Amino acid sequence: MNTNAVLLILASLAVSSASYAGEGHNHQQETRTSLMSEESHEGHDHSEDKSDDSHDDHGGHDDHEGHGGHGGHDDHGEESSVVELSTAQRAMAGIETLVVQTQALGQPITAPGEAKLNAYKTTKITPRTPSQVMERHVRLGDHVTKGQPLVTLSSMEMAEAQGALIQANAELRRVKQLGQKVVSGKRFVTAQIAYQLAYAKVNAYGMTQSQIKTFLRKNNATNATGEFQLLSFQTGTVMSDDFVVGELIEPGQVLLTISDESVLWIEARLTPEDAARITLGAPARVQIGTQWLAGKVVQARHALDEVTRTLSVNIEVANEQDHVHPGQFVHVVIESQDKLQGIVLPVEAVVPSPDGHWQVFVETATGQFEPKEVEVLQTVGDQMLIKGLAEGTTIVGKGAFFVQSQMAKGGFDPHNH
């Protein structure tokens, strides 16, 4: 075989091999393309399945949360409406609880009022003879105790009475020392009577028994200077001291007024119709600014004021913290005889809810409080007649606003349906 023939055969084989290789490559590419298409299609189906599964899982998650009480709206609202406070928090906020009870609350009668001194706890210091003020011992606003010296006076009448007492006392001591065997009975009786009259006059002019006893112990006629001290009849506050040292004063002139301000009277003026609806001892409340004081009706006049045509009643209120002063105008609410029965709560225990209703905080466990809506039927001063609570329920009596603020800070749902 010649060289040309060999070259032709080799060229033919090369072409055939290249054709086969090209066909194999195309087949492989088609196969790969087909497989990729199938995988892509299967992957798409799988992705759809996965998406469905994911949706199912998400739905299952919701169901789980709803079932578990953390994601469901109702259960979530119930749990998050509970506020838990430690003992230290409750003490710091001044939170106090109370057990609600059914009570009677009288329908309110409102009226303006004016604070006055309690006449039964007030005394006026006056001289009993024409005198001159020698020294003052207290000032306006001072707190004094019973028997404390208030003012020193000097009086000619007192000087004469003191001199007579010294003489009568000396004579009585002398006849007692001599005895009835030496002194006649008449002289002894005369000495006793003279002493008693002199003692009574000095006492009537303003010296107390204790002062007279001290005075006589000195037993010196030169002590009859006419000076004496007026003492306080009671413990209280100096409400007035209308005098100056050196002033000449007459009997009956008021030098000082002493009063116990811990109990005051509030004078309220009512129409005859309203006055007929109250009784002595009726509960009353007095508003001074934002604060309320509890009291009761202790006096009621029977004669109408000629100018205002009203009847005045006196309400006694405790004033240990000195919240109200004589002459101050206040607002008065008196409970009438027309009573309503129900759950009565202090006003501070009932707070407005975010949706405009009223609510209280029920203690569900020690230190745990939950809001509960109530309906307010009547407000009388600082008390409310409500419905929506069962008797015996324990609620927050003081500090409800603090509990509400803690709930707001925690993002709690204020509703409790």
Of 331, 327, 261, nearest in space to 291 by CA: 331
Same domain, 56 and 112: no
* Residue 132 resides in a domain: yes
At residue 405, what is the residue type? S
CB 105 within 8 A of CB 383: yes
Q: Is 74 left (phi over 0), alpha (psi -120 to 50) or beta?
A: alpha
DSSP per-residue codes, 280-340: TT-EEEEEETTEEEEEEEEEE-SS--TTT--EEEEEEEE-TT----TT-EEEEEEEEEEEE
pLDDT in tens, 106-156: 888 999 999 999 999 999 999 999 999 999 999 999 999 999 999 999 999
pTM for this prediction: 0.62
Is residue 414 assigned to a domain?
no
Regarding whether 218 and 128 lie in a shared domain, the answer is yes
Domain termination site, one of 238, 259, 280: 259
| pLDDT attached to residue 153 | 97
Task: Please tell me the predicted confidence (pLDDT) of residue 220.
Answer: 57
On whether both 135 and 202 belong to a single domain, the answer is: yes
- The CATH number assigned to the domain holding 385 equals 2.40.420.20
Same domain (yes/no): 144, 169: yes
In a domain, 309, yes or no: yes
Claim to verify: residue 224 and residue 142 sit in the same structural domain: yes
Name the amino acid, one letter, at 401.
F
Tens digit of each residue's pLDDT (9 = 90 or more) over 96-113: 999 998 888 888 899 999
Residue 363: inside a domain, yes or no? yes
- Taking only the tens place, the pLDDT of each residue in 162-171 is 999 999 998 9
How many structural domains is the chain composed of?
4
pLDDT in the model for residue 224: 85
Range of the domain at 130: 124-259
Query: Given 233, 259, 285, which residue is the final one in a domain?
Result: 259
Could you read off the pLDDT of 79-97 as tens digits, one per residue? 457 888 888 888 988 999 9
192 and 238, same domain (yes or no): yes
Examine the domain organization and report whether 246 and 273 are in the same domain: no
Q: Is 171 part of any domain?
A: yes
Verify that 159 and 184 share a domain, yes or no. yes
pLDDT above 70 for 26: no
CATH at 293: 2.40.30.170
Q: Maximum Cα–Cα distance for the chain, whole Å? A: 201
Q: What angle do CA 310, 312, 315 make, to 5 degrees?
A: 150
In a domain, 416, yes or no: no
